[in-house]
Every structure is written in structure tokens, then in C-alpha cells.
Amino acid sequence: MLQEDAILVLKTGEALSEVRAHCGDFEDWIARGLGRATEEVAVAAVYEGDPLPPTESIRAVIVTGSPAMVTARADWSEVSARWLARIVEGDMIPVLGLCYGHQLIAHGLGGEVGSNPRGREMGTVDVVLPEHGIDADPLFETGVFPGHMSHVESVLIAPRDARVIGTTAIEEHAVLQFGPRQWGVQFHPEFDREIMRRYVEARREILIGEGFDPDALIDAAVETPVLTRILERFAGMVDRGPADPV
């Protein structure tokens, strides 16, 4: 049963089975980052046919990553994209998209998603957040911080009114602000070092085929405390409510 008046985890797929068996699934990691038990967040597995709830029944939305591709235009994905676009355009509730979720929001708002011409981005990489401090934004600090990446598709063209907040060496739209309380991040703040290492190991043969060194990626994986904290800050913003200062 969908828990009402909670942060909704809009689940767009499952974590890789090899990772899930040891570490749990997206909703577990997201809840942990929010400072909540998994049972304290609502989950709608839209890729399995769960309905989208009325926005008045939830406090905020976090959209997960997925092994699916936004460009596949699955029915559940397209319906979710339109639903998210309405939320952003009406500034109804706070929204945070992660990886696939980031791309899905951008697609719903008229941006373009496709294969990154620079190729796959995998492992712990530097995310650059220029000229944008916590005093100006409730989620992000200014600086260069490690973040966990695992994606092939990217937001190639941002929606017209979106603001670029963060980049990486090969990702021009690593962080986008879509609306006053709506963001998307291409990285995974819900991952920890162990999850990232297991993702690399699960993709070992694919990565070797693409010219990557999986062992080097595993060795380079570190914890990402600054970018992980955006989940905690998102939860704090939701708990404060729209009338309180951020």
C-alpha cells in the first residue's frame, strides 16, 4: 500500500541483481540517504505497473535510476515523464531525479536525451559545481567533489528553462535545476563505495570491451560524502515545508 504524506520513491527499475543480492535496492539506499527507514518512504514501481499517485497525497518525489533507457520510450516511462513535467511546471512539490530520473524529467520538459557522444561514464568521477554555494541553493555546495556515475545516455540538450549547476569532464549536464524546488543529477548520491565497486564488477566484461580498466575503476572508488548529503538536505527542505526559509 502506498504510504501517504511521505516522500515518494518513483522506482523506474531495479539495481543490478548482483548488487541487489548484497546491498539491497534503490529505495533502501535512497531512504538511508534521507535519514529514514525504507518503510518510511512510499514506493511506486511504475516500471511494474504501479499507478502514479495524486500529488496532493505525497510530499515530494525522488526518481530512481534504471537499467532502462529513456530513449526506449516505454509507455510507463512516457506517462511518468509527463506527470513529472506537470509537477515541475506547477511547482507542486519538490522533485529530485537521479540518473535515469534526471534524464526523464529533462525529457518530459522538452529536453533531448540520447547516447553521450563521449561514451559511457562509469566509476567515481569529479563533479564540478561552480559558483553555486549552499547559501544560494538548499542542496549544493560550490567546489569539485567525487560522485558515482554509471550511465551511457545523457541529457544532450537541457530544457529551455533549466539551469546548469554541475558538470563533469564528459557530462555537460551533470546537475540541472528544472524549477524552484526541482533538480536532477546524473550521478548517484544514493551509492556508496561498495555499491559503486559492485556495479563496476558486474559490468567488467562490457567495460573491458569498451577500453576501460575495471580494476582501476574499483581502486579509484571512494566515498562521496558531500554529494551524498544532497539527499539529507532534500529531506530537510521537504520537512521544513514551502513557507519556511531554506
Distance between CA 2 and CA 15 in Å, rounded?
21
Mean pLDDT (10-residue bins), the chain, 246 residues: 80 96 97 96 98 96 98 98 98 98 98 98 96 68 96 98 96 97 98 98 97 98 97 94 53
Identify the pLDDT of residue 4: 64
104 Cβ contact partners less than 8 Å away, ≥ 6 residues apart: 12, 63, 70, 77, 80, 81, 84, 97
**Nearest to residue 27, comparing CAs of 49, 4, 44?**
44
Distance between CA 84 and CA 78 in Å, rounded?
10
User: How crowded is residue 4: how many other Cβ atoms within 10 Å of its Cβ?
Assistant: 13
pTM of the prediction? 0.94
Helix-strand-coil split of the chain, %, nearest 5: 35, 25, 40
Q: Which of these is catalytic: 14, 99, 107, 121?
A: 99
Identify the pLDDT of residue 242: 66
Identify the pLDDT of residue 152: 98
User: How crowded is residue 225: how many other Cβ atoms within 10 Å of its Cβ?
Assistant: 10
Burial class (CB in 10 A: 0-12, 13-18, 19+), 7: buried
Q: Where are the domains of the chain?
A: 7-240
Distance between CA 151 and CA 58 in Å, rounded?
29
Identify the pLDDT of residue 244: 44
What's the topology of domain 7-240? Rossmann fold (3.40.50)
Report strand pairing: 175-179 vs 182-185.
antiparallel
**Residue 140 identity (one-letter amino acid):** F
Residues 4, 13 contacting (CB under 8 angstroms): no
Distance between CA 48 and CA 130 in Å, rounded?
38
Is residue 23 among the annotated active site residues? no
